[in-house]
Amino acid sequence: PIFPEEILLHVERALDQNKPDNVKLPKKQTKEIPKKITAHVTDEFVLGNSEFVKNVELLINKVAQTNFTVMLIGESGTGKEVAAKRIHNKSKRNNKPFVAVDCGALSEELAGSELFGHVKGAFTGALFDKKGFFEQAEGGTIFLDEIGNLSLENQIKLLRALQEKQIRRVGDEKSIQFDVRIITATNENLEKAISKGDFRTDLYHRINEFPIYLPSLQEQIDDIELFVDFFINQTNLEIQKEVKKCDDEVIAIFRKYSWPGNIRELKNVIRRAVLLTDNDKISVNNIP
């Protein structure tokens, strides 16, 4: 959901970054996470206590040290990119690039150029040589988010690249070898897409070497207070407020709500509420 107050906050932050006297605090100067959060916490995520989450973390730890192609499966907003970054950061490639690609944002015509690059003059507007995402990720990890959105033609190009371990820039005659770890993500059932003819079976089996299912927020609803406190703390640091917690009534509403946008939606709701509240506690009046 789009909240005007949150848009205003982003605009104000962007304007503030252009001020010459703007000084950012070093990352290590952070407030202490509230003590009632017993789960594992970093600057980027909080790991809940549910069995679902513990199993995901176990799988991430096991697969990170390999070169297996990982497919992350889960609803929108369940933290697939966060999981992909954790796999990369725990791997032997962690000192190399992590390149995230939103396949849904790639047009059918330009996807080949964006993924594999192009040479000068390859098409109208190609004024110089350009490295694609695969070259940018050399030695590291490429994360192909929402891979089901790729057109069939671009699925063929991707499959060929994965099979041959080499790419060819658009308009170029020579191929380039690459060494990149592949992680994909989808929020749709690719097997159904295969049955409809929208996704290639051979590509599916190529990228589905090690699937990991990410639970929805509803499946870890008992951890919702951990997430709430974590996002309150994050937002406090960002906009210099000192909100401490949510009313019990707010938590009760959160537990009953279906959360179609999952953790991403919860984060947005908390950011908005922290911005709106004039007290040290979030009340029902502060939530959408």
Helix (H, G, I), strand (E, B) or coil at 167: strand
Helix (H, G, I), strand (E, B) or coil at 39: coil
pLDDT per residue over 4-24, tens digit each? 766 777 787 788 776 665 554
So what's the pLDDT on residue 21?
Answer: 54
- Supply the DSSP string of 217-265, one letter for each residue: GGGGGGGHHHHHHHHHHHHHHHHT----EE-HHHHHHHHHS--TTHHHH
Burial of 66 (0-12, 13-18, 19+ CB in 10 A): middle
Q: How far apart are CA 234 and CA 218, in angstroms?
A: 22
So what's the pLDDT on residue 20?
Answer: 60
- Considering the chain, what percentage of its residues have pLDDT values greater than 70? 88
Tell me if 42 sits within 8 A of 182, measured CB to CB: no
pLDDT per residue over 135-185, tens digit each? 999 999 999 999 999 999 999 999 999 999 998 888 888 888 999 999 999
So what's the pLDDT on residue 147?
Answer: 95
Kindly state the tokens that stand for 199.
């996704």
Residue 72 has pLDDT above 70, yes or no: yes
Mean pLDDT, residues 248-254 = 96
Mean of the per-residue pLDDT values of the chain: 86
Phi, psi of 211 (to 5 degrees): -80, 145
User: For residue 64, what pLDDT band results from cuts at 50, 70 and 90?
Assistant: very high
Going by C-alpha positions, the residue among 83, 89, 57 that lies closest to residue 70 is 83
30-44 per-residue burial string, b: 16 or more CB within 10 A, e: under 16: eeebeeebebebeee
